[in-house]
């Protein structure tokens, strides 16, 4: 009935000679006012259910994800392990990796954002070297700066039998750039002069650390990390994982992940299985522990020079394996002498060294 009155009024106004445009303008104004009144919300001080709303500060905390407690194996209570039927990949191949740049800062592996952690090292490009420092370390020319990394990280292939959701395995990065990637494993040797060498040469590398040979000396590797060299996961005790029970593999991988978080404030996203030996359970355990990529190698620096899995020279994108070793393991060579020999071999073949995390 309320709507009928205005309609009759407008018809009479048209019949008595009012211009149609004035009539329509008046009608629009009336309808707009009515709509505004209808849409006005009812004032309230509580929720839709009548309970008082919490203060804004509490509301923000209620929206935070709860912290998650884990068992010693790294699995949440009652959670079933992931399943997979795919075998390992090789070369460029592997399974699907996680998204992101490989580093999680500010949130520990437990998922509790309130936990404190040490300050993270500087992210970004490979470290730059000091002028003329190469002569001090036995090189005949400086280490060339690596080429700019690709805008998008190259896709890593996968074995057709490997399931989606498992991390890919990589021995060689797909690239045409004259760049290789140095990785240094374990952590037996802790030569302070290597920190100087890495800093002065601007040597980019990725460390894969094993807890039982590092002990209480994570501060040494933190010095290297703060130069821009990431420290990644190489298990707690360096076992051969292939054939081990899934839960034991989770304990080895997640346990070292937690150590690296505790000491560096960063969660590792790359993982290297000891001796390069792994099975399907390893890939599932690695995925469970947050690993994005399983890193193998195509060339290895041995005591007297480079050895290759195939061929007799480096290829673009090769991943090179070395170790934190000293005179006892290197027949009297120091680690700095050994690393200088590695750099000379890389330079002699027309390559420079890039940072692996810029590509995988």
Q: What tens digit of pLDDT does each residue of 283-300 get?
A: 999 999 999 999 999 999
**pLDDT given for residue 227 in this prediction:** 97
**Domain count along the chain:** 2
In a domain, 182, yes or no: yes
State whether 16 and 96 are in the same domain. no
**pLDDT given for residue 120 in this prediction:** 41
State whether 336 and 217 are in the same domain. yes
Average pLDDT, the chain: 75
Of residues 256 and 126, more confidence is placed in 256
Q: Rounded mean pLDDT of 268-274?
A: 98
State whether 274 and 141 are in the same domain. yes
Q: Measure the CA angle with vertex 254, ends 248 and 256; round to 5°.
A: 105
| Residue 41 to residue 315: CA distance in whole angstroms | 69
In a domain, 292, yes or no: yes
pLDDT at 168 over 90: yes
Task: Choose the most confident range, by mean pLDDT, from 22-36, 107-121, 148-162.
Answer: 148-162
Please report, for the domain that includes residue 189, its CATH number.
Answer: 3.20.20.370
Q: What is the DSSP letter of 113?
A: T
In a domain, 8, yes or no: yes
State whether 16 and 124 are in the same domain. no
State whether 105 and 9 are in the same domain. no
Tens of pLDDT, residue by residue over 219-245, are 999 999 999 999 999 999 999 999 999
pLDDT at 344 over 90: yes
The percent of residues above 70 in pLDDT, for the chain, comes to: 62
Residues 139/347, Cβ–Cβ less than 8 Å = yes
**pLDDT given for residue 159 in this prediction:** 52
The boundaries of the domain holding residue 12 are 1-30
State whether 118 and 199 are in the same domain. yes
**pLDDT given for residue 327 in this prediction:** 96
State whether 206 and 339 are in the same domain. yes
DSSP 117-177: -PPPPP-SSPPPPPTTHHHHTT-SSPPPPPPPPPSSPPPP---TTSPTTSPPEESB----S
Residues 273/295, Cβ–Cβ less than 8 Å = no
Residues 260/234, Cβ–Cβ less than 8 Å = no
Assigned token pair, 161: 């039998």
């Amino acid at each position: 009935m309320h709507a009928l009155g205005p309609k009759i009024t407008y018809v009479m106004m048209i019949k008595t000679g009012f211009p149609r445009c004035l009539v329509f303008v008046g009608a629009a104004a009336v309808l707009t006012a009515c709509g505004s009144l209808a849409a006005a919300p009812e004032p309230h001080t509580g929720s839709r259910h009548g309970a008082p709303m919490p203060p804004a500060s509490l509301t923000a905390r209620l929206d935070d994800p709860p912290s998650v407690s884990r068992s010693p194996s790294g699995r949440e209570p009652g959670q079933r392990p992931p399943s997979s039927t795919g075998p390992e990949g090789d070369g460029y191949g592997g399974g699907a990796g996680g998204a992101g740049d490989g580093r999680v800062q500010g949130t520990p592996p437990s998922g509790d954002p309130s936990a404190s952690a040490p300050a993270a090292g500087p992210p970004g490009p490979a470290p730059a070297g000091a002028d003329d420092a190469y002569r001090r370390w036995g090189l005949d020319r400086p280490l060339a700066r690596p080429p700019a990394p690709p805008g998008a990280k190259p896709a890593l292939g996968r074995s057709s039998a490997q399931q989606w959701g498992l991390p890919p395995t990589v021995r060689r990065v797909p690239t045409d750039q004259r760049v290789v990637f140095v990785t240094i494993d374990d952590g037996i040797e802790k030569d302070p002069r290597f920190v100087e060498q890495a800093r002065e040469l601007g040597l980019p590398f990725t460390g894969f650390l094993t807890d039982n040979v590092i002990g209480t000396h994570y501060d040494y590797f933190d010095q290297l990390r703060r130069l821009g060299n990431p420290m990644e996961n190489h298990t707690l005790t360096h076992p051969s994982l292939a054939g081990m029970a899934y839960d034991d593999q989770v304990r080895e991988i997640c346990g070292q992940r937690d150590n690296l978080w505790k000491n560096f404030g960063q969660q590792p996203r790359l993982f290297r299985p000891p001796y390069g030996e792994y099975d399907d359970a390893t890939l599932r355990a690695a995925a469970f522990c947050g690993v994005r990529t399983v890193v193998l190698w195509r060339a290895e620096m041995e005591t007297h020079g480079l050895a290759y899995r195939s061929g007799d020279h480096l290829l673009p994108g090769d991943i090179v394996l070395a170790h934190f070793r000293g005179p006892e393991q290197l027949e009297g060579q120091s680690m700095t002498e050994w690393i200088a020999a590695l750099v000379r071999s890389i330079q002699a073949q027309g390559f420079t060294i890039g940072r692996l995390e810029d590509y995988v």
